[in-house]
């Protein structure tokens, strides 16, 4: 332990942490525009400067470790003046009118400038040129607003191992972007939006679909259906000043009705359906491997996360045959809404508009993938992030906090707790295990609360195994088989698992991959800023949502059963194949 | 065909093979990227896109990062250069002792701007940021040779000496 003083207060902290972290642990907030929890500090922004007694100059607290006897001042006159100066210099280059900026409400630079009392522009020199890159379906970048904090590079290269963007050129001309400052569509960006989630300013944002959705809602000819992903209910509240991890499912449904959506449905319904299709697919692959002695079709990888799919298409095309052919729940929902539901409700599919609310930016990319039109129309028309829905509710003048709870519409609105946990890393695996175990053995998964705790939580790669004993007659070949599963979140962890599988070092039957840290609850479209504490709070809320239901298993969802009886007939059947399954392309 | 400084002609495949050899020699060392880029630039005279992509995938460094290094250092070029590379120093010492006037005279004589190559592919003009020859300021580096205390009025003679050299070589061939 190390003893030091911050602003005259004696504190004791562990060794080898930075001044910034030591201060944070003692409730002293040092502002910063570049620091990212969990990654090496790079000291790019210089906003976190503090005065250390005996040191000749001010020091960047994010990249200076604590030492015994240190005396630190985080708010001295010298510190305040220097910090203000740094922010003034950043603002002098920053090109953008806050009135017209997507981030004006939560821009870290603007808020910091205001709190430091910046009221004048002393440095009227050259400023950056606005240079908008909207070449991809999900993300918009404006290098004129960029302050070169490099958080986006840290997540793109470190967390996701994609490395789509880096600093280009030099000095004043430095810009953050793809090679030679080309458009984002020129590089293998997976559209996960983690860069947009950490950007302190308006330099990277999702491509907004808000206007298109308002237009659809205003059009009396259109029947507008909305689906909400499992992760929204644990995060949307943050847009309305609720603590992270506040469940707002009922209020969200009421708000969507007030926005005049014609039907409020749940992506969760399609998540339950995914489990039946993907679970059956897994069992078929097991049969083909163990009985028919086919090779190279296991392990089966999950396919819900569109960033992961794009990542595999770019970087690991050899494993594409091992990825489940199931569409993601968003796309299953869209295909069913414009066929099964449209017929049931007597609505022409070309008059129907399907809007998704997703924690994700890659879902915007996924919805416009060429092959996603099995209903005969574009299966999903528009995708809003959690943040965009929050904005729409505010702009409609809805007082979210005072809303009563209400229920989703039937038939695409009923879901099990197993569908809720799709939002968490390990959740798809747990949901699948609940169903597959029961199909194979005829018995309920014999674990307290039905939770597979070894694949839950924020560790990057997690494993579990289950012995299948005394199966029912049709699955006799699985008797005594130890089902081995793995779960990874963050694409750098996905890459580790794939490399272990490819080299033969690890043998699994089923692998869940989610693109974003923590799973969808940590998605690129979620309210900012998502740190590990926020992730854990949302994960906990999702498990509570699951536990609050009496319906906990996908195969028990009555409306899913009805869908099979009335329409699809059986998992992996002909209709399922057409509407619910897809294929992947090497990129 | 690309003509190397030695005057020997090598096919692009031969050059690429030399690059592969250079990469194999260097790739396991820390900080291998810059020496490999220098080697590529010496071989090809500039850094073509396919060469950079090859370096990126062989070293397992994102292409964006490779491009970041290439665009950071003015020594690297992604466009083919002329036979002679002129680099006018505009570092502090050269700047105050007339580097800017020297640059203007060269631009005027060659009718090209910074980063451009003359129509006859004889000269490429770039600016440099200090060659460590401040006491000789202002300096101009032409290929590997440093010309000291350059005066704008002498620019035409200086460039003509390179033009004559080229003609002599062509006659020789």
Q: Is A59 left (phi over 0), alpha (psi -120 to 50) or beta?
A: beta
What is the domain-level CATH number for residue A64? 3.10.20.740
- Please tell me what DSSP assigns to residue A150: -
Q: Is the pLDDT reported for residue B172 higher than 90?
A: no
Instruction: Say if the Cβ atoms of A168 and B63 lie within 8 Å.
Output: no
DSSP per-residue codes, A364-379: HHHHT-TT--TTSS-S
pLDDT, average across residues B121-147: 91
Domain identity same for A50 and A100: no
- Please tell me what DSSP assigns to residue A497: H
CA distance to partner chain B, nearest, from residue A177 (Å): 7
Q: Is the pLDDT reported for residue B171 higher than 80?
A: no
Rounded Cα gap, residues B93 and B130, in angstroms = 8
Between residues A529 and A363, the one the model is more confident about: A363
Q: Which domain holds residue A194?
A: 89-206
Q: What is the pLDDT of residue A586?
A: 95
Q: What is the pLDDT of residue B9?
A: 65
Q: Does residue A27 fall inside a structural domain?
A: yes
Q: Does residue A433 fall inside a structural domain?
A: no
- Please tell me what DSSP assigns to residue A320: G
**ipTM of the assembly?**
0.88
Rounded Cα gap, residues A238 and A359, in angstroms = 13
Q: What is the pLDDT of residue B74?
A: 82
Instruction: Say if the Cβ atoms of B71 and A170 lie within 8 Å.
Output: yes
Confirm if B148 and B93 have CB atoms less than 8 A apart: no
Q: Would you call A352 helix, strand, or coil by DSSP?
A: strand
Closest by CA to A327, choosing from A538, A581, A85, is A581
- As given in the structure block, the two tokens for residue A299 are 């392990």
pLDDT, average across residues A74-86: 96
Domain identity same for A30 and A128: no
Confirm if A353 and A338 have CB atoms less than 8 A apart: no
Domain identity same for A35 and A109: no
Sheet containing A510-514: order of strands? A300-301, A510-514, A481-489, A461-468
Sheet containing A71-73: order of strands? A9-13, A2-6, A71-73, A49-52, A59-60
Binning pLDDT at 50, 70 and 90, where does residue B1 land?
very low
Rounded Cα gap, residues A376 and A391, in angstroms = 31
User: Distances in Å between the alpha carbon of A209 and those of A183, A205, A363, A386, A388?
Assistant: 20, 12, 12, 12, 8
Domain identity same for A189 and A137: yes
pLDDT, chain A, mean:
95
Last residue of a domain, one of A45, A75, A105: A75
CA distance to partner chain A, nearest, from residue B7 (Å): 32
Distance, CA of A140 to chain centre: 17
User: Distances in Å between the alpha carbon of A536 and those of A246, A522, A529, A544?
Assistant: 12, 10, 13, 12
Domain identity same for A93 and A70: no
Chain A residues in contact with chain B using a Cβ-Cβ cutoff of 8 Å: 157, 162-170, 177-180, 187
pLDDT, average across residues A29-36: 96
pLDDT, average across residues A443-467: 89
Q: Is the pLDDT reported for residue B6 higher than 50?
A: no
- As given in the structure block, the two tokens for residue B119 are 């129509």
Q: What is the pLDDT of residue A414?
A: 92
pLDDT, average across residues A107-111: 96
Burial of A484 (0-12, 13-18, 19+ CB in 10 A): middle
Partner residues linked to A470 by β-bridges: none
What is the per-residue pLDDT across B44-74, written as a single tens digit (0 to 9) for each? 989 999 999 999 999 999 999 999 999 999 8
- Decide if A278 is catalytic: yes
Q: Please name the member of B62, B65, B71 whose beta carbon is closest to the beta carbon of A180.
A: B71
Lowest mean pLDDT among A3-7, A199-203, A426-430, B162-166: B162-166
Last residue of a domain, one of A187, A206, A225: A206
Closest by CA to A34, choosing from A123, A167, A140, is A167
Q: Is the pLDDT reported for residue B8 higher than 90?
A: no
The residue whose two tokens read 């409400």 is A105
- Within 8 A by CB and 6+ apart from B50, the residues are none
What is the domain-level CATH number for residue A94? 3.30.70.20
Q: Is the pLDDT reported for residue B4 higher than 80?
A: no
Binning pLDDT at 50, 70 and 90, where does residue A8 land?
very high
% pLDDT > 70, chain A = 100
CA distance to partner chain A, nearest, from residue B70 (Å): 8
Rounded Cα gap, residues A428 and A304, in angstroms = 9
Q: Does residue A435 fall inside a structural domain?
A: no
Rounded Cα gap, residues A513 and A233, in angstroms = 21
Partner residues linked to A481 by β-bridges: A468
Q: Please name the member of A162, A163, A168 whose beta carbon is closest to the beta carbon of B71.
A: A168
What is the per-residue pLDDT across A124-153, written as a single tens digit (0 to 9) for each? 888 888 899 999 999 999 999 999 999 999
Domain identity same for A26 and A131: no
Last residue of a domain, one of A144, A173, A206: A206
What is the per-residue pLDDT across B102-127, written as a single tens digit (0 to 9) for each? 999 999 999 999 988 999 889 999 99
Which superfamily does CATH assign the domain made up of B84-172 to? Glutaredoxin (3.40.30.10)
pLDDT, average across residues A11-26: 94
- Whether chain A has a CB inside 8 Å of the CB on B60: the answer is no
Distance, CA of A71 to chain centre: 40
Cβ contacts below 8 Å, chain A against chain B, sum to 41
Q: Would you call A531 helix, strand, or coil by DSSP?
A: coil
Domain count, chain A: 2
What is the per-residue pLDDT across A504-533, written as a single tens digit (0 to 9) for each? 999 999 999 999 999 999 999 999 999 999
Domain identity same for A71 and A131: no
pLDDT, average across residues A54-66: 95
- As given in the structure block, the two tokens for residue A66 are 């604590």
Rounded Cα gap, residues A364 and A367, in angstroms = 5
Residue A450's φ and ψ, nearest 5 degrees, are: 65, 15
Of A108, A281, A377, A388, the catalytic one is A281
What is the per-residue pLDDT across A249-300, written as a single tens digit (0 to 9) for each? 999 999 999 999 999 999 999 999 999 999 999 999 999 999 999 988 999 9
**How many residues are listed for chain A in this entry?**
587
User: Distances in Å between the alpha carbon of B162 and those of A386, A494, B104, B113, B154?
Assistant: 65, 57, 19, 19, 13
Q: In degrees, to the nearest 5, what angle opens at C-alpha A209 toward C-alphas A185 and A263?
A: 135
Q: Does residue A118 fall inside a structural domain?
A: yes
- Decide if A281 is catalytic: yes
% pLDDT > 90, chain A = 93
Domain identity same for A196 and A111: yes
Q: Please name the member of A157, A162, A179 whose beta carbon is closest to the beta carbon of B67.
A: A179
Rounded Cα gap, residues B51 and B23, in angstroms = 11
The residue whose two tokens read 């250069």 is B81
Domain identity same for A191 and A126: yes
Q: Is the pLDDT reported for residue A65 higher than 50?
A: yes
Lowest mean pLDDT among A400-409, B3-12, B37-46, B91-100: B3-12
- Please tell me what DSSP assigns to residue A323: B
Chain B neighbors of A178, CB-CB under 8 A: 63-64, 67
Residues of B127-141 as b/e, b for ≥16 C-beta within 10 angstroms?
bbeebebeebbbbbb
Closest by CA to A407, choosing from A224, A307, A265, is A265
Q: Is the pLDDT reported for residue A385 higher than 90?
A: yes
- Decide if A221 is catalytic: no
Q: Does residue A575 fall inside a structural domain?
A: no
DSSP per-residue codes, chain B: -EE-TTS-EE-HHHHHHHHHHHHHHHTTSTT-HHHHHHHHHHHHSS--HHHHHHHHHHHT--HHHHHHHHHH-TT--SS---SEEEEEE-SHHHIIIIIHHHHHHHHHHHT--TT-B-TTS-EEEEEES--S-GGG-S-EEETTEEEPS--GGGHHHHHHHHHHHHHHHHHH-
Domain identity same for A93 and A191: yes
Residue of B nearest to A156 (CA): B62
Q: Would you call A486 helix, strand, or coil by DSSP?
A: strand
Q: Does residue A95 fall inside a structural domain?
A: yes
Number of Cβ within 10 Å of residue A443's Cβ equals 12
- As given in the structure block, the two tokens for residue A115 are 């709190």
Residue A227's φ and ψ, nearest 5 degrees, are: -125, 145
What is the per-residue pLDDT across A156-181, written as a single tens digit (0 to 9) for each? 999 999 999 999 999 889 999 999 99
Rounded Cα gap, residues A180 and A205, in angstroms = 21
CA-based torsion, B133, B138, B141, B145: positive or negative: negative
């Amino acid at each position: 332990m190390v003893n030091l003083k911050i602003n005259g207060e004696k504190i004791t902290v562990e060794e080898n942490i930075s001044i910034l972290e030591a201060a944070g642990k003692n409730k002293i907030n040092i502002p910063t525009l570049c620091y990212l929890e969990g990654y090496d500090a790079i000291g790019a922004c210089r906003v976190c400067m503090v005065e250390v007694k005996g040191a000749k100059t001010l020091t960047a607290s994010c990249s200076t470790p604590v030492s015994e006897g240190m005396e630190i001042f985080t708010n001295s006159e010298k510190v305040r003046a220097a910090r203000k100066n740094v922010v003034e210099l950043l603002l002098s280059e920053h090109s953008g009118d806050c009135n017209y900026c997507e981030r004006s409400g939560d821009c870290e630079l603007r808020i910091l400038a205001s709190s430091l009392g910046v009221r004048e522009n002393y440095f009227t020199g050259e400023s950056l040129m606005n240079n908008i890159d909207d070449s991809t379906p999900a993300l918009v970048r404006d290098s004129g607003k960029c302050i070169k904090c490099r958080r986006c590079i840290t997540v793109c290269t470190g967390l996701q191992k994609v490395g789509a963007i880096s600093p280009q050129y030099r000095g004043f001309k430095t810009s953050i972007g793809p090679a030679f400052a080309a458009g984002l569509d020129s590089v293998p960006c997976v559209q996960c939006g983690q860069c947009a989630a950490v950007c302190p300013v308006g330099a990277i944002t999702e491509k907004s679909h808000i206007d298109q959705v308002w237009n659809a809602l205003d059009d009396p000819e259109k029947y507008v259906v909305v689906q909400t992903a499992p992760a929204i209910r644990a995060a949307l509240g943050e847009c309305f000043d609720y603590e992270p991890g506040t469940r707002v499912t009922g209020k969200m449904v009421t708000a969507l009705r007030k926005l005049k959506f014609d039907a409020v449905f749940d992506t969760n319904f399609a998540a339950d359906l995914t489990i039946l299709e993907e679970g059956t697919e897994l069992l078929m692959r097991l049969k083909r491997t163990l009985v028919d002695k086919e090779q190279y079709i296991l392990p089966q990888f999950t396919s819900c996360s569109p960033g992961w799919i794009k990542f595999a298409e770019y970087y690991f095309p050899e494993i594409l045959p091992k990825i489940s052919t199931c569409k993601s729940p968003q796309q299953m929902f869209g295909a069913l809404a414009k066929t099964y539901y449209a017929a049931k409700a007597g609505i022409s599919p070309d008059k129907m508009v399907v809007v998704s609310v997703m924690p994700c930016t890659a879902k915007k990319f996924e919805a416009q993938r060429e092959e996603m039109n099995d209903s005969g129309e574009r299966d999903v028309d528009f995708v809003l992030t959690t943040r965009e829905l929050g904005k729409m509710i505010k702009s409609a003048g809805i007082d979210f906090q005072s809303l009563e709870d209400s229920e989703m519409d039937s038939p695409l609105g009923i879901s099990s707790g197993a569908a809720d946990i799709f939002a968490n890393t390990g959740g798809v695996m747990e949901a699948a295990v609940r169903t597959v175990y029961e199909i194979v053995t005829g018995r309920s998964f014999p674990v307290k609360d039905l939770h597979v705790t070894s694949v839950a939580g924020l560790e990057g790669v997690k494993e579990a195994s289950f012995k299948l004993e005394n199966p029912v007659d049709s699955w006799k070949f699985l008797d005594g088989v130890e089902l081995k599963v793995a779960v990874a979140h963050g694409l750098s962890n996905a890459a580790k698992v794939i490399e272990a599988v490819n080299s033969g070092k690890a043998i699994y039957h089923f692998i869940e991959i989610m693109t974003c840290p923590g799973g969808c609850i940590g998605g690129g479209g979620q309210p900012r800023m998502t740190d590990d504490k926020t992730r854990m709070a949302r994960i906990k809320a999702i498990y509570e949502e699951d536990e609050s239901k009496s319906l906990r298993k996908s195969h028990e969802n009555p409306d899913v059963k009805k869908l099979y009886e009335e329409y699809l007939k059986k998992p992996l059947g002909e209709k399922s194949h057409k509407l619910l399954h897809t294929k992947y392309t090497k990129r | 065909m690309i003509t190397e400084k030695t005057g020997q002609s090598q096919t692009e495949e031969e050059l690429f093979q030399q690059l592969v050899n250079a990469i194999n020699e260097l790739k396991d060392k820390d900080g291998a990227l810059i020496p490999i880029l220098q080697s590529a630039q010496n071989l090809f005279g500039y850094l073509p896109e396919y060469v950079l992509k090859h370096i990126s995938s062989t070293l397992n460094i994102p292409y964006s990062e490779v491009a970041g290094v290439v665009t950071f250092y003015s020594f690297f070029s992604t466009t083919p250069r002329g036979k002679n590379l002129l680099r006018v120093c505009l570092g502090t010492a050269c700047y105050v002792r007339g580097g800017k006037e020297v640059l203007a005279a060269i631009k005027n004589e060659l009718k090209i701007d910074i980063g451009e190559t003359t129509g006859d592919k004889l000269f490429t003009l770039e600016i440099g940021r200090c060659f460590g020859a401040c006491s000789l300021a202002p300096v101009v580096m032409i290929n590997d040779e440093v010309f000291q205390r350059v005066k704008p009025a002498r620019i035409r003679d200086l460039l003509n000496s390179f033009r004559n050299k080229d003609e002599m070589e062509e006659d020789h061939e």
